[in-house]
């Protein structure tokens, strides 16, 4: 049996955009909530529920990790793009998902959870999925996607993040949480850019264009990851 992809989004509008482009026979799209905690909990619940249903029907878990009958997990949605790296309307493929505000403030600056010795703030995407998506989406921008609980709204924060994460192309709120919950399953993050990272200016956001780009990119999901 060919296993489907599980694609999780933060909000319903993102899920609708993914469904508009994705193959409904092979791609399951669910909404899990905003922020890394909701995303992790929602994704874990979906994987556990699917695994329990598969076991009850006698079909087994579908994966060596027991995380449910899915080929892979994709965190998808819209995002802010780092200026000069990912323009508005573009699509990015996350090579790594980074919890950029997981750590501690000190008089000398921010220390990541890695530097504190309490774990890691970085989760690598599955290399095969990254390659497959970038091959299928030749105009997509590969790079790190930072996960934040608070969306950037100032030039100072945008500049600090750009310096701290020179390979980052986008900022979102769920990728790291989804990646944690997907432990044992291949994971990748797929985002379309609705606005530049910096001062919050809703009038400058291009949501229609970003949702259209997300739908188009979602058409490549099963081809690339199936």
Q: Domain with 152 in it: what CATH number?
A: 3.40.50.1580
Output DSSP code: residue 147: E
Percent of the chain with pLDDT over 70: 91
d(CA 145, CA 171): 6
Percent of the chain with pLDDT over 90: 80
- If you write DSSP's letter for every residue of 151-202 in order, what string do you get? ---SHHHHHHHHHH-TTEEEEESSHHHHHHHTTTS-EEEEEEEEEESSS--G
Q: Is the confidence at residue 118, as pLDDT, over 80? A: yes
d(CA 171, CA 147): 6
Domains of the chain: total: 1
3-class secondary structure, 56 = helix
Q: Is the confidence at residue 63, as pLDDT, over 80? A: no
The whole domain housing 129 covers: 5-225
Phi then psi for 97, rounded to 5 degrees?
A: -110, 125
Q: Is the confidence at residue 100, as pLDDT, over 50? A: yes
For the record, the structure tokens of 74 come out as: 């994709």
Please report the pLDDT score of residue 65 as a whole number. Answer: 40
Q: Can you tell me the mean pLDDT for 196-208?
A: 90
- How many Cβ atoms from other residues are within 10 Å of residue 201's Cβ? 10
Of 173, 21, 146, which is closest to residue 85 (Cα–Cα)? Answer: 146
Q: Do residues 81 and 169 make contact, with C-beta atoms less than 8 angstroms apart?
A: yes
Q: Is the confidence at residue 61, as pLDDT, over 50? A: no
Phi then psi for 87, rounded to 5 degrees?
A: -75, 160
Please report the pLDDT score of residue 189 as a whole number. Answer: 97
3-class secondary structure, 63 = coil
d(CA 74, CA 4): 11
Q: Is the confidence at residue 59, as pLDDT, over 60? A: no
Q: Is 176 left (phi over 0), alpha (psi -120 to 50) or beta?
A: alpha
d(CA 207, CA 59): 41
- If you write DSSP's letter for every residue of 86-141 in order, what string do you get? S-TT-EEEEEEEEETT-EEEETTEEEEHHHHTS--SEEEPPHHHHHHHHHH-TT-E
For the record, the structure tokens of 208 come out as: 């229609």
Across all residues in the chain, what is the average pLDDT? 90
Q: Can you tell me the mean pLDDT for 201-220?
A: 93
Please tell me the pTM assigned to this model: 0.90
Q: Is the confidence at residue 11, as pLDDT, over 60? A: yes
What CA–CA distances, in Å, run from 55 to 1, 104, 119, 184, 198? Answer: 15, 42, 32, 18, 47
Q: Can you tell me the mean pLDDT for 121-149?
A: 96
Tracing tokens 């995407």 back to the chain, one arrives at 125
Q: Can you tell me the mean pLDDT for 113-118?
A: 92
For the record, the structure tokens of 95 come out as: 């090579």
């Amino acid at each position: 049996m060919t296993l489907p992809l599980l694609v999780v989004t933060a909000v319903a509008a993102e899920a609708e955009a993914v469904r508009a482009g994705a193959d409904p026979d092979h791609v399951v799209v669910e909404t899990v909530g905003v922020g890394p905690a909701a995303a992790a909990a929602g994704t874990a619940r979906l994987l556990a529920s699917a695994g329990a249903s598969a076991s009850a029907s006698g079909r087994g878990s579908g994966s060596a990790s027991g995380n449910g009958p899915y080929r892979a997990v994709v965190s998808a949605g819209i995002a802010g793009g780092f200026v000069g790296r990912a323009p508005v309307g573009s699509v990015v493929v996350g090579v790594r998902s980074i919890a950029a505000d997981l750590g501690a403030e000190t008089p000398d600056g921010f220390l990541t959870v890695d530097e504190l010795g309490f774990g890691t703030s970085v989760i690598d995407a599955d290399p095969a999925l990254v390659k497959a998506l970038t091959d299928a989406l030749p105009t997509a921008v590969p790079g790190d996607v930072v996960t934040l609980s608070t969306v950037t709204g100032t030039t100072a924060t945008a500049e600090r993040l750009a310096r701290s994460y020179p390979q980052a192309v986008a900022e979102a709120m769920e990728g790291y949480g989804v990646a944690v919950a997907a432990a044992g399953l291949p994971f990748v993050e797929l985002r379309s850019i609705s606005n530049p990272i910096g001062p919050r200016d809703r009038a400058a956001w291009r949501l229609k264009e970003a949702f259209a780009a997300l739908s188009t990119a979602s058409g490549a999901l099963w081809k690339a990851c199936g």
